[in-house]
Chains A and B, each alone.
Chain A
Amino acid sequence: MEIENGTKSDLVLDSKFAQIKAKLVKQLPLTLRWLALMLTTTAAIGMGLNKQRKTAVVAIVGTKPISQTFTAEFQQTTAFVYFVVANALASLYNIMFVLLRPCFKGKENKLWIHILDLMIMVIVATGAAAATSMAELGKNGNVHARWNPICDKFDAFCLHGGMALIASFVGALDLLLLSILSLVALHRSVQGQELVSLSV
């Protein structure tokens, strides 16, 4: 009797774990989507508001020093502009997806969702790659082209840009996971259709 009770409670516990696990797995795509939305928005806003001004004395005329303001902003570099645009596009896509999700639950939409997911991931990844190459150039310079590094002078600019880059990289990884999940969902829906047609 006691052994029977023990096995019965074990079975109940296992099924409870299975239920919790199934619920978590069901929420995974939406969680990843929210995470991607937050990361890409952070990256776009972080780089979009990236600006640093520095005033330096460039000459002394008589006794009067002449100072000039040097500005480092993201619009000066084409790669950073593309970075902001790519991340803004991705966050817009994620917002639209989260808002319009109830409309697109059908099986025929899964292919389009997967293709769009792939496209957005590639756009974010290229933006991050281009901005990273520019950031590396800004940090280390290029001796042979006589390009001096600027990160020692504009440290806040480099720091904010670096954080936006990290957010974008994690967002690209997240979008890759979402693409894989949508591909698996597409495969499952197609397999389910096949089984239905076979059984009919």
Chain B
Amino acid sequence: MKTMSKALRGLSIFIRIGIAAACAAAAIIMATSHDSTSFFGVTMEAKYQYTPSFKFFVIANAIASGYNVLVIFVPAASPFSGLVIMSDTIMAMLLTGALAATGAISEMAKHGNIHAGWLPICRQIPAYCDHVSGSLISAFVGLIVFVVIILCNIYKIVSLDLHVCH
């Protein structure tokens, strides 16, 4: 029984480190995405700071990554376990909001909006678009694994056993 709980604790630590790594990778890849091109004597530069959604994405993923690293040091069934469950849900909502906003802007950059006169820019700056899509994939992976943690939290509440995943 003790080895089982130790194995579960080790598994949960492994999952949390995975999420922290995925979110940190997403934030770093987005923060280092930078490309510029010039056509007809006009320079077009693309950085993540130029779009507020991308800034929110970097900040949200950095916060989620740091939070997951901190949660590893919370012992199982401590007074903070309820707080951890609540903070997990809040963090997941933050990540989903950031992902949704960034996904919307990326789709706009790829396909443009003819009716508003917005031309797609991914043809001119392909490296930037590739960077951003890689960052999005990494954040998606982190979020999907985070959903596993959320389901684990629900199981913790249903079975009244705070030792299961943590």
Contact surface of A with B, Cβ cutoff 8 Å:
70-72, 76-79, 111, 114-115, 118, 122, 125-127, 129-134, 136-138, 142-148, 150, 176, 183, 186-187, 190-191, 194
Q: Are B44 and A144 in contact (CB under 8 A)?
A: yes
CB distance from A108 to the nearest CB of B (A): 11
Q: Are B46 and A125 in contact (CB under 8 A)?
A: no
What are the residues of chain A within 8 A of B159 when measuring CB–CB? 190
B28 at interface (Cβ–Cβ under 8 A)?
no
CB distance from B127 to the nearest CB of A (A): 15
Q: Are A79 and B158 in contact (CB under 8 A)?
A: no
B121 at interface (Cβ–Cβ under 8 A)?
yes
Q: Are B115 and A190 in contact (CB under 8 A)?
A: no
What are the residues of chain B within 8 A of A114 when measuring CB–CB? 154
Bound CA–CA A7/B133 (angstroms): 71
Contact surface of B with A, Cβ cutoff 8 Å:
44-47, 50-53, 93, 96-105, 107-109, 111, 113, 115-119, 121, 150, 154, 157-160
What are the residues of chain B within 8 A of A129 when measuring CB–CB? 96-98, 100-101, 104
Q: Are A126 and B121 in contact (CB under 8 A)?
A: no
Q: Are A133 and B101 in contact (CB under 8 A)?
A: yes
What are the residues of chain B within 8 A of A138 when measuring CB–CB? 116
Bound CA–CA A132/B45 (angstroms): 24
Chain B, interface SS category:
helix
Q: Are A126 and B115 in contact (CB under 8 A)?
A: no
Bound CA–CA A77/B150 (angstroms): 32
Q: Are A145 and B154 in contact (CB under 8 A)?
A: no
**The residue from B104, B109, B111, B154 contacting A130, defined by CB atoms under 8 A apart:** B104
What are the residues of chain B within 8 A of A118 when measuring CB–CB? 150
Q: Are B109 and A145 in contact (CB under 8 A)?
A: yes
Closest to A145 in B: B121
Bound CA–CA A194/B160 (angstroms): 9
What are the residues of chain B within 8 A of A194 when measuring CB–CB? 160
**The residue from A72, A146, A190 contacting B158, defined by CB atoms under 8 A apart:** A190
Q: Are B154 and A79 in contact (CB under 8 A)?
A: no
Q: Are B108 and A134 in contact (CB under 8 A)?
A: yes
* Given A111-B158, A133-B102, A134-B104, 5 more pairs with CB closer than 8 A: A78-B107, A130-B103, A145-B109, A147-B117, A186-B158
Q: Are B97 and A126 in contact (CB under 8 A)?
A: yes
CB distance from A48 to the nearest CB of B (A): 17
CB distance from B82 to the nearest CB of A (A): 10
Q: Are B113 and A76 in contact (CB under 8 A)?
A: yes
Q: Are B100 and A130 in contact (CB under 8 A)?
A: yes
Bound CA–CA A199/B104 (angstroms): 55
**The residue from A77, A115, A187, A190 contacting B113, defined by CB atoms under 8 A apart:** A77
**The residue from A72, A130, A183 contacting B115, defined by CB atoms under 8 A apart:** A72
Q: Are B45 and A144 in contact (CB under 8 A)?
A: yes
Bound CA–CA A190/B158 (angstroms): 6
What are the residues of chain A within 8 A of B108 when measuring CB–CB? 77-79, 134, 137
Q: List 20 A-B contacts (CB under 8 A).
A: A76-B115, A78-B111, A79-B104, A111-B158, A122-B93, A125-B97, A126-B100, A129-B96, A129-B97, A129-B101, A133-B102, A133-B105, A136-B52, A136-B53, A138-B116, A143-B50, A147-B116, A148-B118, A190-B157, A194-B160
